[in-house]
Copies of this chain bind each other. A is one copy, B any other.
Amino acid sequence: MTDPERKRRKVMAVIGSGSSLDADREQLCVDLGRAAVEAGFRLATGGLGGVMAAASRGAHGAECYQEGDVVGILPGYDAGSANDDVDLAIPTGIGVARNVVLISTADVVVAVGGGSGTLSEMAVAWQLGKPIVGLAVAGGWAAKLAGEPIDDRRRDTVVSAETAEQAVAQAVTLTGD
């Protein structure tokens, strides 16, 4: 029976480079994934390595983790390309355009570091009206845009966070009812 009060769980997208991370950034992403699940979010990423894999691993290791909490939205057709901590792989087959699907799936987007791929996702998130948190500490476009608006269509900014816990606390506020 469907519970009329039931609310769908919120989805946090964590975006960032697929390249391998140094130990500090890796820990930051693991902490971010874990804190996201502990705050009640489902985690969605692009499903591959680097930031995506570390955040997925953190989510998987959360105390309250349950199977299904970690979603990977992949560019190709092969679910097997997802990192090992993805519970649900969405192999879109639409290449780079899968970034739009990832952002569209998110209730809130947290950016870590980031080159041009992450920048395009932050810009799409802004276009689609999604709240964005930028982890200023890890450099890249997330840091450059933290505290800034991306254009003048919205009155808010990319919200700046210094730690994983702070980022998740802001995500909770930004998606609160």
Q: Which of A's residues lie within 8 Å of B, judged by CB?
A: 1-2, 6, 8-9, 11, 42, 57, 60-61, 66-69, 71, 73, 77, 79, 82, 84-97, 100-101, 104-105, 115-117, 119-121, 123-124, 126-128, 140-141, 150-153
Chain B residues with Cβ below 8 Å from A69 are 68
A128 touches B1 (CB 8 A): no
Which of B77, B79, B84, B105 contacts A90 (CB under 8 A)? B105
Write out the residue numbers on chain B whose beta carbons fall within 8 Å of the beta carbon of A61.
1
- Judge whether B8 and A86 touch: CB under 8 Å: yes
Q: A9-B67, A119-B123, A123-B116 are in contact. Are A100 and B90 (CB under 8 A)?
A: no
Q: Which residues of B have CB within 8 Å of A127?
A: 96, 116-117, 120
Q: Could you jot down 11 A-B contacts, CB within 8 Å? A: A2-B84, A9-B87, A66-B68, A91-B105, A93-B94, A93-B100, A96-B124, A116-B126, A119-B119, A119-B150, A123-B123
Q: How many copies does the complex hold?
A: 4
- Contact partner of A93 among B101, B120, B140, CB < 8 A? B101
CB within 8 A of A77: which of B67, B68, B104, B140?
B104
Q: Which residues of B contact A150 (CB under 8 A)?
A: 115-116, 119
Least CB distance from A73 to B in Å reads 8
Q: How far is the CA of A151 from the CA of B85 in the complex (A)?
A: 28
Q: Which of B2, B92, B140, B152 contacts A57 (CB 8 A)?
A: B2
